[in-house]
Amino acid sequence: MNTKKKWWTRSRREALDGYVFMSPAILGLLFFMLGPIAASAYFSFTEYDILSSPKWVGLDNYIELFHDSLFWQSLKVTLTYSVVSVPLNLVVSLLLALLLNKNIKGIFVFRTIFYLPAVMSGVAVALLWKWIFNPDFGLINWAIGLIGFEGPKWFIEENWALPPIIIMGLWGVGGSMLVYLAGLQGIPTDLYEAAEIDGANKRKQFRHITIPMLSPVIFFNLITGIIGALQVFTEGFIMTAGGPNNATLFSVLYLYRNAFDYLNMGYASALAWVLFLIILAFTLIVFKSSPMWVFYEGNRRSAK
């Protein structure tokens, strides 16, 4: 009894709770994902058309990737999209969260409204935005026309195909906004009170309290944002079919086409692994940088 009590400490119980909460994800990974993941690793070294059995080709698929101009094009498109859209989303969702963190009457209504788009189906939203960006009768160009300019040919000119997809990405900031909002509410108000007594103005409070206290949340949103952006697919698939002239050929779209349209499942698997390594690399870089700017409560390190 005595020994058991000692073994069953509070920290062990907390750990068990943690595992129980994680179990759906872990079980899902073990039973449904590990197999396909391993299979795709194997297929990436084969020539495989789904219909006949795979043929071992060693590194051929990977070598071919490096000579495939469309692979590089898709990487360029995906990276351009990510580099612009990730920071943009981070900033916009933070600003929205700050606004919605105000304690005014009926704020819940606004929170709901701003979150709502995030739960809508990607396909429906994509079609909706296609109309909004229609070069001739879309809402955006109509508005630009009102102030006397001619709007660009969204989706039709190669250079104007990616920007509307980036802009419409903002439609989905609700998710990260909500996470920011939770983070903002978790910041103890006494910190602000103390700062006020010390004579810090709003901007200084934001810079020295809000941002550091929020940094774990920013970190989380940055990581999920990068992963999500590098895997963007629906918009290119539904709205532009990768065009015009491959200006919106995202990597995952190219992967999908190889797998299901061109019967190159082996090549598609190799592409998936390369994409995974790229995502992993970015994630690692962000993680390595985190001690410099992420501040966890209870950690004695200063924000600087």
Partner 1 sequence: MFKKGKAALALASTMALSSILYGCGSSSSDNGGSASKDEKVELNFIRWSNGPALDNEEKDKVKRFNDSHPNIQVKMTLLPWDETFKKIEMSLASNSPVDLFYWDVPAYAWYKKGLMKNLQPYFDRDLKMSDYDEKLFEPFKFDGSNMYVAPENYQTLVLYYNKDLFDKAGVAYPSENWNWNDYLEAAKKLTITKDGKTTQFGTTMSLGAWWGWMALSQEQGGALAPNIHDPEKLTFNTPETKNALQYLQDLIYKYHVAPDAAQSSALGGDFLTGKIAMYVGGDWDLGNLKDKKDLKWDLAPMPKWDDKRVVPYWVGGYAMTEKSKHPDQAWEFIKWTMTDNQETLAKQQSWIPVNKSALAKVETPAWAPAGYQTARFDWMKYGNIGDLYHLKWREAQDKAISPITDQIFANKISVDDALKKMDEQVNEIISKK
In terms of CB distance, is 104 or 292 closer to partner 1?
292
Task: Compute the least distance from the CB of residue 257 to partner 1, in Å.
Answer: 6
Task: Compute the least distance from the CB of residue 296 to partner 1, in Å.
Answer: 5
Contact 181, 100 (CB under 8 A): yes
CA 184/CA 190 separation, integer angstroms? 13
Q: Which residues bind partner 1 (CB under 8 A)?
A: 25, 29, 32-33, 36-37, 40, 47, 49-52, 70, 134-137, 153, 156-158, 220, 223-224, 227, 230-231, 242-246, 252, 255-257, 259-263, 269, 272-273, 275-276, 279-280, 283-284, 287, 290-291, 296, 299, 301
Task: Compute the least distance from the CB of residue 119 to partner 1, in Å.
Answer: 18
Contact 248, 229 (CB under 8 A): no
| DSSP, res 68 | -
Task: Compute the least distance from the CB of residue 137 to partner 1, in Å.
Answer: 6
The C-alpha angle with vertex 226 and arms to 223 and 229, in degrees rounded to 5, equals 145
Task: Compute the least distance from the CB of residue 244 to partner 1, in Å.
Answer: 5
Taking CA atoms, 82 is separated from 19, 78, 191, 225, in Å, by 33, 6, 35, 9
> What is the DSSP track for 9-61?
-HHHHHHHHHHHHHHHHHHHIIIIIHHHHHHHHHHTTEE--SSS--EE-TTHH
In terms of CB distance, is 29 or 127 closer to partner 1?
29
Task: Compute the least distance from the CB of residue 225 to partner 1, in Å.
Answer: 11
In terms of CB distance, is 77 or 96 closer to partner 1?
77
In terms of CB distance, is 62 or 220 closer to partner 1?
220
Taking CA atoms, 67 is separated from 3, 63, 98, in Å, by 64, 7, 47
In terms of CB distance, is 159 or 201 closer to partner 1?
159
3-state secondary structure of 249: coil
What is the phi-psi region of residue 155: left when phi exceeds 0, alpha when psi lies from -120 to 50, beta otherwise? left
In terms of CB distance, is 14 or 190 closer to partner 1?
14
3-state secondary structure of 147: coil
In terms of CB distance, is 200 or 227 closer to partner 1?
227
Task: Compute the least distance from the CB of residue 66 to partner 1, in Å.
Answer: 16
Q: State CA 19 to chain mean position distance.
A: 26
